[in-house]
Amino acid sequence: MLSQAQTPIVADSSVLLGFAAIGQTDLLKIVAAEVWVPPGVVAEVTAKDYPPNRILRDALTSGTILKSVDLPASAAGLVSRYGAMLGRGESEAIALAHLRKLTVLLDDLAARRLATSEGVAFVGSLGVLVACKNAGVIPRVRPLVEALVEAGRFFGPVLLRDFYRSQNEA
């Protein structure tokens, strides 16, 4: 699923902000050579002056893993259509992933449903952690999931129970 670390991945703000909040944006290197960040997402993740926003602003400026990318003109119709259901950042991320045939980083359920209906592959925060564990970069997912929750990310209790079981960390 995420064994193509040479391929870029497109990001929505939720996964970026979550990993920045726990100081783990470097883990995104495990799933992609570059993380493409469309203009609407750049605006969302740099709008405030909280520590996670500063981390992402610096990462976008350095361009080492996060890369600000413009939308092609052909994305306008998709962004407009998706915008009836989602925010600007999610709409742009899904549209860019759709046009470039890339995976998109998404945690939001409505965005995931739209991505699925449009044939766009997605992975969320938990999927990134699984990829990192499978690559031997982290020994366990649970401490990082707990850090994400402590930082304000929400994962339903049934989802977490099943996720921990799937990772033999119940």
DSSP output for 77-134: HHHHHHHTTS-HHHHHHHHHHHHHT--EE---HHHHHHHHHTT--EE-HHHHHHHHHH
pTM of the full structure = 0.92
Which domains does the chain possess? 9-166 (3.40.50.1010)
**Residues forming beta bridges with residue 35, ordered by sequence position:** 9, 66
Q: What is the pLDDT of residues 128-163, one digit of tens each?
A: 999 999 999 999 999 999 999 999 999 999 999 999
Would you state the structure tokens that stand for residue 149, as one six-digit string?
A: 């929750």
- What confidence tier does 5 reach under pLDDT thresholds 50, 70, 90? low
* Summary mean pLDDT of the chain: 94
Q: What is the pLDDT of residues 99-112, one digit of tens each?
A: 999 999 999 999 99
Model pLDDT, residue 170: 85
